[in-house]
Every structure is written in structure tokens, then in C-alpha cells.
């Protein structure tokens, strides 16, 4: 990476105005932090965890009682307990703002639009809370929602968590088995669904699925009108009510917030489930709130009144991250549907019209905009846009460059990485540092992030496992239906004793940033040399002929050989010339050892509902092994393209 120049460098005036700068100065004056230099401050945030997280609570104005004990450290990461005396309510903190200003702005493709003030949001939460109380819903009860990313979904979550109930959601494009694989494990007290949804300009029905799921769950069903026939659906349900029916008996009154322990669960999130039934990951109110406040207020610089957008469904943890923006007083911009309907300008139209300050999306979306020939910089006024974030998969150096050449040049681009496991980020943006092509700017404050080799030793300048060596507040409370914690320990603590191993193949850069080279369980090992799949994708997907690709290691002739599958642009066929071009690109851009043994053209690439390609599932199919949970995929039929390929036997 030597010889590169930054794509963006913050000015002194920009840095001086950042909430992060103000917070560091405050901590030096008020909490004994040694320096307002970021690197020194990050070390302090890790070494003095009690003081740091207490400072986050106070500076961000958390509503609740903090208590005098800040951390009970019983000797291991799993036994650490932050703020054991604290009492708070998650919804109370998200609804701390009021008035007629915009809280939520919604677009459902070009079919539906809506705008909710803080007053309207609080009024709906009040009525929903009363209706849930009348059902007997309270502390610890689970609420399961199969919903679009729309205002009612957020109001329902806030009503549930105001009572101490636990919220769990997925998107309405899940199949009935995918829904039941998730919600069937947690035994909800209420199932919430829409009556249909819009995708790619078409109305998508859910009635048959809702009937199947409701019969299996055996609980009351709440139907939210959106894109279908609510009455027709209700007529097929034994115990269903519409939203109007649910709240009709209740007028608006003050919301009652039950303050609960810091570790009280608010969310159950699910692993992707592509290698078996999804794991139910339980997150706490306090840990989620503090971590999101830190990331949004400090790393993103989010302030009250700014427009925050993330393109996400309710089945991805970025939805949970997005809604926490309410705690900063931000206006949330919600979009549901295809990001390319009616064309690739639709999200940038939304950004222009509403003045997004932060535009969050996936690396795949940025690459699709680039390959689609869209140049928002030339077509849209994005004056207020100051930060773009990307996650879901590693953003290639070319993706970084495109953001500056095609979207906006005076913008901070933050590639971020963490996940469902921690409902937040381990590594993310830093408004005080330059943006370098292909690099995540650095680790999050308060997180003891490092890269270790196979022997458990820190490494610089080489690839290894991304780890976190000290406990942090947003670690899961537990896994559901894991009474002895065996699944939890196996997921994160089997590789290294008492150290969180995240499963990412990573590398420190000379700038103090990080590069994620892909999931370590998908790492390729030809000839015993570890190769990250992202290193190959970064080269291949620069080619206009290649729309996207997926790479696996195939057991062959007592070794592992690299197989690259490519989905090509319309009208393009993989011939000897294109194959040679792809191999040359990989050889010169990465190294000779990255060159695949075989390149095979496919019509589609399987992915999860949140858009992540599924290397492990393809690897299983190639080796003739069953994929345990195809319902976790958005396009499970694509896996059939990889079965019994003659080219893989040669």
C-alpha cells in the first residue's frame, strides 16, 4: 500500500468541529484521559474501560440510573458484567425527543410515502403499548415481526421494548420455513406481519405464508396494512387483528417506561443459517444502546436533526443499528423495496430530496451502481451528504475510488465491519483520519481489537484472525435455547482461550487501518497458503465483463484448488480469451498463487437475504454435501447451478 495517496483527508476545521474531538477533549478535562491524540485516546478507552464507558453514558445523556459499580470483571470475557446496578429502558432513550419535527421519513419504492413527526411516533407507541399490556405482554415476552422497513415497524419495536419485551424481526421475503426456523425457536407471544409488500414495482403477496406461520406458532397475529388486502388476510386467520382494531380502544397518554437492568434483553437476532438452523443471538438494552451511541455520535458524528439513512431490511442487524439513531435525535430515512426500481437513481433521489447527512449501504450496492454506469455526482445535488458507510462484505479499492469519482469527492467514506454477533462494529470510520483505498479506518473506541496468527500471537503486515481481547458491553447476553452456554462458547471462544475470535481474515495496514480479506472459514488454502476470497474478488470484479463472482476451495488430488465462478454481463460468454484476461488480472493485481485452477461461468450466485454471497453453501454443494438450511437464502435455486458440474471433475 506504499505510494498511495488518501482519497480524502479531513481539514483541521472539520476535525475541530467533530463530536469525537469534543468528546476526547471532555474526557481529558473530566475523566483523566491522557491525551486528545486519537491513538493515545483509543489505548485509554481500552485500558480504562470503566471510565470510558461511563463517559459515554454521561456525555451522550443516557436516560436512566447508572449505579456506582461500572464493571464486574470476574476474570473471563464471558463473566464480565458492565453497569451491574444500572436501570434503564431502551425505548425511553430512543423517544427522548419530541415535537412536530420529522422523526421518520418513509418511501416504499414509488408506491408509498409517509412522514412521521416525533409526536406522531410517540402517540402510536403509546396506543400500541396499551394494547400490548392488555394482551398481558410484559418483561421477557418475545414479539416476532415479519415486516418491511416502515414506520409502523419501529413504533411496534418501541412499544414492545418499553414494556421489557424482546423484539425479533425478519423481512417479508423470507419463506415460511425460514420464518419458522427463526421464530419457532423463540416462542413469541405475538406475531406481527404486513399484508403484502412491494418489490421491483410488483405487489408481493404473503397470505399463504402468514397462514402457515400463524398456525404453527399458535399465537395472536397483528396485521399491518401496506401492500395487500388486510381484510382478506384476516378472514383466513383464527386469531388476527388489523392495526386499527388493535389500538382502537386506546387514546394517547404518557408512555410508561419500565426501567430494567443494563443486561436485560431487547433483541433476538439470527445468524444467517446457511450451515444449519439459525443461532438465536440475544442482545442487551444497555450494551446495544451504549455501543450504538458511541458509533453514531462519535464515529459518525451524528447530531440531532440530521438525516440518517441505511439501506436495510428488518432481517439485517443494520436495521437495529439504524433505529438507534433516534437516540441522537436524528431523522431516520426508511426505504423498503428494490434499490434499483425504477432505476439505479432511486436511493440518490431520496438522498437529494431529503438531504441525507449519512448514506449507509452495502459494498455490493456500490459496485452495482458503478457497473450500472450511474454517476450521482453529475446528476444529483448531494450537498448535505458528508458520510457514506459500506458494509456486508469488504469494499474493494475500486469501490472506494468510485465513491469519490462517481458519487461525491468531499465526503468521508467509512467501510465498517462487525455483525449480527455484536449488533455493531469492531472496525469502522474515524472522522479524524484520512480515507485510504480499500482500508477500514480503524478499530472502534473501547474495543481491544487485534489480528492474531494461528499461534495466538499479534501480527503486523500479515494476515490473521480478527480478535477482541477484552470484554465489551455489546457482547451477546446469551444464545436462546443454550442453557449451559456451549453454543455461545463454541461460536467465539473455541479458537483462542478467553479471546473473542470473530471469524474474519484481516490485516493491519501501515496507516493503522485494517483490511478484511473475507471470512476465515471461507479462506482458501491451496498448497497450504491462506488466501482471502476478497483478494480475488477485488481483482475480478474490476472487469466490465464480470458482474460478480464467488470463489471456493475444492478438495482435489490431495490438495485444495481454487475454483472461481463468474456471473458475466449480458451477452458475454466465458471463452479462452476472457479466461486468460481474468487470470492475468488476478496474477498481476494479487499474486500468482491467487490464480484459480478453474474458472466456470454461472447464471446466478446464491446469497443471503441481506445480500451476502454464501461461499460455504457453494462449497458444500460442490463437494456433494447437503446444504442444511436453504431457506436462509434469497435465491436457493441458484445452488442447483453448482451441483454435478462436469468441469469440477477434471
Domain CATH for 262:
3.40.50.12780
How far apart are the C-alpha atoms of 186 and 208, rounded to whole Å? Answer: 22
- Residue 484 domain flag: no
385 and 256 in one domain?
Answer: yes
- pLDDT interval class at 1 (50, 70, 90): very low
pTM of the model: 0.90
Tens of pLDDT, residue by residue over 251-283, are 999 999 999 999 999 999 998 766 678 899 999
Helix or strand run (H / E) with residue 179:
helix 176-186
What cell does 61 get?
445523556
- pLDDT interval class at 245 (50, 70, 90): very high
pLDDT at position 164 is: 98
- Residue 335 domain flag: yes
Read off the pLDDT of each residue in 362-389 and give the average, rounded to a whole number: 96
Question: Of 389, 414, 435, which closes a domain?
Answer: 435
How far apart are the C-alpha atoms of 48 and 50, rounded to whole Å? Answer: 6
Question: Of 435, 456, 490, which closes a domain?
Answer: 435
* 140/630: higher pLDDT: 140
* 618/527: higher pLDDT: 618
Question: Contact at 8 Å (CB) between 551 and 562?
Answer: yes
Q: Please, what is the Cα angle at 151 between 149 and 157, to 5 degrees?
A: 85
Give me the percent of the chain exceeding a pLDDT of 90: 84
- Residue 158 domain flag: yes
User: Taking the C-alpha atoms of 126, 130, 131 and 136 in order, what is their torsion angle to the nearest 10 degrees?
Assistant: 140
Cell 403509546, residue located: 126
Smallest CA-to-CA distance from 395 within 538, 279, 491 is with 538
Asked if omega into 647 is within 30° of 0 (cis), the reply is no
pLDDT at position 256 is: 97
How far apart are the C-alpha atoms of 390 and 384, rounded to whole Å? Answer: 18
Strands 81-82 and 71-72: antiparallel
Question: Of 411, 435, 459, which closes a domain?
Answer: 435
Asked if omega into 246 is within 30° of 0 (cis), the reply is no
* Region of residue 392 (left: phi > 0; alpha: psi -120 to 50; beta: else): left
How far apart are the C-alpha atoms of 206 and 188, rounded to whole Å? Answer: 19
pLDDT at position 611 is: 82
Smallest CA-to-CA distance from 506 within 521, 494, 516 is with 516
Question: Contact at 8 Å (CB) between 468 and 447?
Answer: yes
Strands 424-428 and 260-261: unpaired
State how many domains the chain has.
2
Question: Contact at 8 Å (CB) between 609 and 632?
Answer: yes
- What is the domain extent for residue 387? 1-435
Tens of pLDDT, residue by residue over 88-140, are 999 999 999 999 999 999 999 999 999 999 999 999 999 999 999 999 999 99
Residue 3, pLDDT > 60, answer: no
Question: Contact at 8 Å (CB) between 494 and 485?
Answer: no
- Residue 510 domain flag: no
How far apart are the C-alpha atoms of 184 and 170, rounded to whole Å? Answer: 13
Cell 423498503, residue located: 336
- pLDDT interval class at 528 (50, 70, 90): low
pLDDT at position 649 is: 81
- Residue 29 domain flag: yes
Q: Any idea what the CATH number is for the domain that residue 535 is in? A: 3.30.300.30
What cell does 592 get?
500468482
300 and 177 in one domain?
Answer: yes
Read off the pLDDT of each residue in 540-556 and give the average, rounded to a whole number: 91
Q: How far is CA 271 from CA 416, 473, 536, 570, in A?
A: 18, 20, 25, 33
Read off the pLDDT of each residue in 287-306 and give the average, rounded to a whole number: 98
What cell does 379 get?
446528476
563 and 421 in one domain?
Answer: no
Amino acid at each position: 500500500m506504499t505510494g498511495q495517496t488518501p482519497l480524502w483527508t479531513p481539514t483541521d476545521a472539520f476535525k475541530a468541529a467533530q463530536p469525537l474531538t469534543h468528546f476526547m477533549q471532555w474526557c481529558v478535562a473530566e475523566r483523566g484521559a491522557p491525551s486528545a491524540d486519537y491513538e493515545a485516546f483509543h489505548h485509554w478507552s481500552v485500558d480504562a474501560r470503566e471510565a470510558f464507558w461511563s463517559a459515554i453514558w454521561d456525555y451522550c445523556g443516557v436516560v436512566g440510573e447508572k449505579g456506582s459499580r461500572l464493571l464486574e470483571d470476574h476474570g473471563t470475557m464471558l463473566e464480565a458484567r458492565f453497569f451491574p446496578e444500572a436501570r434503564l429502558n431502551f425505548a425511553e432513550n430512543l423517544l427522548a425527543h419530541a415535537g412536530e419535527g420529522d422523526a421518520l421519513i418513509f418511501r416504499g419504492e414509488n408506491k408509498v410515502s409517509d412522514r412521521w413527526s416525533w409526536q406522531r411516533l410517540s402517540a402510536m407507541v403509546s396506543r400500541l403499548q396499551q394494547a400490548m399490556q392488555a394482551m398481558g405482554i410484559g418483561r421477557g415476552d418475545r414479539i416476532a415481526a415479519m415486516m418491511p422497513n416502515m414506520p409502523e415497524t419501529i413504533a411496534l419495536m418501541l412499544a414492545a421494548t418499553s414494556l421489557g419485551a424482546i423484539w425479533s424481526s425478519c423481512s417479508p421475503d423470507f419463506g415460511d420455513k425460514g420464518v419458522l426456523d427463526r421464530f419457532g425457536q423463540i416462542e413469541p407471544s405475538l406475531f406481527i406481519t404486513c399484508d403484502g409488500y412491494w418489490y421491483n414495482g410488483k405487489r408481493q403477496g404473503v397470505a399463504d405464508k402468514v397462514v402457515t406461520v400463524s398456525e404453527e406458532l399458535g399465537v395472536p397475529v397483528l396485521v399491518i396494512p401496506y401492500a395487500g388486502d388486510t381484510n382478506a388476510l384476516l378472514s383466513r386467520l383464527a386469531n388476527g387483528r388489523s392495526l386499527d382494531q388493535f389500538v382502537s380502544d386506546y387514546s394517547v397518554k404518557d408512555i410508561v417506561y419500565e426501567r430494567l437492568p443494563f443486561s436485560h434483553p431487547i433483541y433476538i437476532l439470527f445468524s444467517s443459517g446457511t450451515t444449519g438452523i439459525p443461532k438465536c443471538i440475544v442482545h442487551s438494552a444497555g450494551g446495544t444502546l451504549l455501543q450504538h451511541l458511541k458509533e453514531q455520535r462519535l464515529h459518525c458524528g451524528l447530531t440531532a436533526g440530521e438525516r440518517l439513512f441505511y439501506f436495510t431490511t428488518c432481517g439485517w442487524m443494520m436495521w437495529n443499528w439504524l433505529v438507534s439513531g433516534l437516540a441522537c435525535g436524528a431523522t431516520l430515512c426508511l426505504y423498503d423495496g428494490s434499490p434499483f426500481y425504477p432505476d439505479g437513481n432511486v436511493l440518490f433521489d431520496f438522498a437529494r430530496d431529503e438531504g441525507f447527512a449519512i448514506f449507509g449501504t452495502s459494498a455490493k450496492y456500490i459496485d452495482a451502481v458503478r457497473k450500472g454506469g450511474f454517476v450521482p455526482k453529475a446528476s444529483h445535488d448531494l450537498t448535505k451528504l458528508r458520510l457514506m458507510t459500506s458494509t456486508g462484505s469488504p469494499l474493494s479499492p475500486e469501490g472506494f475510488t468510485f465513491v469519490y469519482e462517481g458519487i461525491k469527492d468531499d465526503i468521508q467514506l467509512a467501510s465498517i465491519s462487525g455483525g449480527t454477533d455484536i449488533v455493531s462494529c469492531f472496525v469502522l470510520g474515524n472522522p479524524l483520519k484520512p480515507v485510504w483505498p480499500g482500508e477500514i479506518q480503524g478499530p472502534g473506541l473501547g474495543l481491544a481489537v487485534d489480528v492474531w496468527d494461528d499461534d495466538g500471537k499479534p501480527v503486523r503486515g500479515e494476515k490473521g484472525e480478527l480478535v477482541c481481547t477484552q470484554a465489551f458491553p455489546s457482547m451477546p447476553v446469551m444464545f436462546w435455547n443454550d442453557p449451559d452456554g456451549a453454543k455461545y462458547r463454541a461460536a467465539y471462544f473455541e479458537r483462542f482461550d478467553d479471546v473473542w475470535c470473530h471469524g474474519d481474515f484481516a490485516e493491519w495496514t501501515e496507516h493503522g487501518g485494517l483490511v478484511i480479506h473475507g471470512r476465515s472459514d471461507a479462506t482458501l488454502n491451496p498448497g497450504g497458503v491462506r488466501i482471502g476470497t476478497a483478494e480475488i474478488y477485488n481483482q475480478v470484479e474490476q472487469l466490465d465483463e464480470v458482474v460478480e463472482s464467488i470463489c471456493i476451495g475444492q478438495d482435489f488430488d490431495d490438495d485444495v484448488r481454487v475454483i472461481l465462478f463468474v456471473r458475466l454481463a449480458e451477452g458475454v460468454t466465458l471463452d479462452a480469451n476472457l479466461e486468460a484476461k481474468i487470470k492475468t488480472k488476478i496474477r498481476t493485481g494479487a499474486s500468482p498463487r491467487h490464480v484459480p485452477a478453474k474458472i466456470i461461468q454461472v447464471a446466478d450466485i446464491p446469497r443471503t437475504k441481506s445480500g451476502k454471497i454464501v461461499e460455504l453453501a457453494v462449497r458444500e454443494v460442490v463437494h456433494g454435501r447437503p446444504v442444511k438450511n436453504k431457506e436462509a437464502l434469497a435465491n436457493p435455486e441458484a445452488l442447483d447451478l453448482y451441483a454435478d458440474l462436469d468441469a469440477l471433475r477434471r
